[in-house]
Amino acid sequence: MISYHLSYTSALSHYLDISITITGNTQQELYLQLPAWRPGRYELQNFAQKLRQVTAKVHGASIAIEKVTKDRWVVQADGAETITINYSFYARQMDAGGSWLDEQMLYVNPINCLMAVEGREHEPCEVAIAIPENWQIACGLKEIRKHTLQAKNYDELVDSPFIASDSLQHASYSLTNTTFHIWIQGDCKPDWSKIIHDFEAFTKEQLEVFGDFPVPEYHYLNLILPYRTYHGVEHSHSTVITLGPGELLMSPALYKEFLGVSSHELFHTWNIKKIRPKEMLPYDLTQENYFKTGYVAEGITTYYGDYILARSGMFTAQQYFDELNTTLQRYFADYSRHYMSVADSSFDLWLDGYKPGIPDRKVSIYIKGALTALLLDLQLRKGTNNQAGLDTVMRELWKRFGKKSIGYTVQDYAALVDEIAGQSFKGYFDIYINGTAPIEPALDEALKYVGCTLKQQENTLLYESRFGFKITTDQTIKVTAIAPASPAFNSLSIDDELVALNGRKLEQNLQHLLQQLTSSETITLTLFREKQLRQVILTPTAHTYYPKYTIEKRPDATASEKANFKLWLHQNFGA
């Protein structure tokens, strides 16, 4: 048994004091390892940078402990039966993957701060938490004694975040022998009857996809904050969601986000926590776990998060299309889609997947992954005359891999799609998963099967569509992106500060001034580049840049296409 004890002396210092008691030791040298990353965010986060003063003791006397890598320590145990490790952790990162300590609550993602004892990760763990007597703990782990949690092994321990406070709100619902707990920490007024009704609806729809739920209890751990925020992280028995501002929780706009992120994270309970790429089964928390199937793990989950809300009646068809159209706008917001495939972008998550990076380098596995999932779903439905779809693929992944704790490979996934389709989908994988060809023609063709179309809209921002550059207008007007081969491509640079158009000072009026010109007129921009004043001339061409697309119902949809629509979205075409 490995025992962890968490306490603090000053909540507002944000330092959490951690003690690890290791019994039954027989090693002369004992190694401790802190994770370098957390599942759900595929980048090294190096949590060890938040630790302070790591020490080791036997019977109260200090023994030697030395750091051997950035997040690994060796203890000169000399065979001592019981060893105690002490250190402090700075808990002041308020997002769904962080930890936070203040006078009102303690929120901990154990993966941030609890070390593993090498060679003993399989053993049961206990976590005793020194908090006020009247505080409650929300967690996926069993509370075996007052404020003491138990995990069957280290993997379960670090996959089980918790919130502790005296102001937790709680409700629950049960479906198919599983109890789903909804915990809310924060200043808000939840409409519990509406929340329970809607959560039950999308949970039932997800259960229709997979048939059964992976765990007997599940916990939504919601941190509702007083400012605008949105983040969710999946775990085997729970999810942490940060959302705000709290006073707007039940407003239509924020409540839609609440449902969307909750549906997305619940789907992850199957897809990535159980249905997992072979490269991540088991997780190696000490280094990068490179994988190319982010379009399955995150792309399909992103697709289903909102799709399930439409199927369960939480979204109207138009509300669902609005979400899809937002995804499309993000996809076409730059030109990275021409330079790197979604499979290669998945591999490169560990390099720069969670930051802007250099211009037009890689695509989002969430965005393109969702669009390729939509394409695959519709192509499967069309190819099998509605006898199969992406539901069928996910159900079989669950049965063949997730339930059996077998990791799937790129080849496994492609072969399963072929099997379910009854034909080769090699073209789909070569062109849209491993390639960079435009997805628009294929997506438009697939949408026709359900009476819809992918329609190109006019981009009314003339500096984008006519001249091929984007700007930010926070305090000054700065260039933020430039379309390849556009009029701006050889004349403007990122971070150019635009100050005048055709001699007229720019004061948040660039769009207005461009509207006064004909579509073929050349413009002169005055700008500062690296603090030097420059002038450049831009000449429009016949091409347009930064296209806009929307998904819409076709007015000429046939009766059979409308029937296909209902089978896909579980809603009437005319609704």
Q: pLDDT tens for residues 157-198?
A: 999 999 999 999 999 999 999 999 999 999 999 999 999 999
Reported as a pLDDT band with limits 50, 70 and 90, residue 202 is: very high
Q: What does the alpha-carbon distance between residue 228 and residue 417 come to, in Å, rounded to a whole number?
A: 40
Residue 575 has pLDDT above 90, yes or no: no
Structure tokens at 105: 């609550």
Residue 119 has pLDDT above 90, yes or no: yes
pLDDT band at 66 (very low <50, low <70, confident <90, very high): very high
Bin 368: left if φ > 0, else alpha if -120 < ψ < 50, else beta: alpha
- Going through 41-159 in order, the beta strands assigned E by DSSP cover 51-58, 61-63, 65-69, 72-76, 83-90, 100-101, 105-108, 116-117, 125-129, 136-139, 142-145, 148-151
Q: Average pLDDT, stretch 281-299?
A: 98
pTM for the predicted model, two decimal places: 0.97
pLDDT at 100: 98
State what percent of residues in the chain have pLDDT above 70.
100
Mean pLDDT of 97-105: 98
pLDDT at 519 exceeding the cut of 80: yes
Q: What is the pLDDT of residue 474?
A: 86
Q: Give 10-35 pLDDT, tens digit per residue.
A: 999 999 999 999 999 999 999 999 99
Neighbours of 67 (CB within 10 A): 13
Can you tell me the distance from the alpha carbon of 114 to that of 89, in angstroms, rounded to the nearest whole number?
A: 9
Q: According to DSSP H, which parts of 251-290 are helical? A: 252-268
Q: How far is CA 38 from CA 80, 236, 366, in A?
A: 32, 13, 18
Tokens of 513: 């001034």
Residues 347-359 have a mean pLDDT of 94
Position 206 pLDDT exceeds 80: yes
Amino acid at 295: Y
Residue with the two structure tokens 């709680």: 170
Rounded-to-integer distance, Cα 478 and Cα 311, Å: 42
Predicted confidence (pLDDT) at residue 238 exceeds the cutoff of 80: yes
How much is the pLDDT for 44?
Answer: 97
Give helix then strand counts, H and E, for the chain.
16, 29
Tokens describing residue 91: 């808990």
Joined together, the tokens standing for residue 53 give 């003063």
CA distance 20 to 87: 9
Per the CB < 8 A criterion, the answer to whether 442 and 432 are in contact is yes
Please provide residue 94's backbone torsions phi and psi, each rounded to the nearest 5 degrees: -95, 85
Per-residue confidence (pLDDT) for residue 284, from 0 to 100: 98
Give the pLDDT confidence score for residue 482 in this predicted structure: 98
- The per-residue pLDDT for 26 is 96
Where does the pLDDT of residue 384 fall: very low under 50, low under 70, confident under 90, or very high at 90 and above? very high
78: left (phi over 0), alpha (psi -120 to 50) or beta: left
**Contact at 8 Å (CB) between 235 and 140?**
yes
Task: Write down the pLDDT at residue 388.
Answer: 98
H or E element in which residue 241 lies: strand 238-244
436-449 pLDDT, tens digit per residue, is 999 999 999 999 99
pLDDT in tens, 458-478: 999 999 999 999 999 888 999
DSSP reduced 3-state for 505: strand
To the nearest whole number, what is the mean pLDDT of the chain? 97
Give the closest residue to 297 by CA, choosing from 316, 279, 273. Answer: 273
- Are residues 500 and 525 in contact, defined by beta-carbon separation less than 8 angstroms? yes
Q: What is the pLDDT of residues 258-278, one digit of tens each?
A: 999 999 999 999 999 999 999
> pLDDT confidence of 286, banded at 50, 70, 90?
very high
User: Hey, which residues does 454 pair with through a beta bridge?
Assistant: 551
In terms of Cα–Cα distance, which of 209, 154, 166, 201 is closest to 33?
154
Whole-number pLDDT of residue 560: 98
Give me the pLDDT at residue 574, please: 87
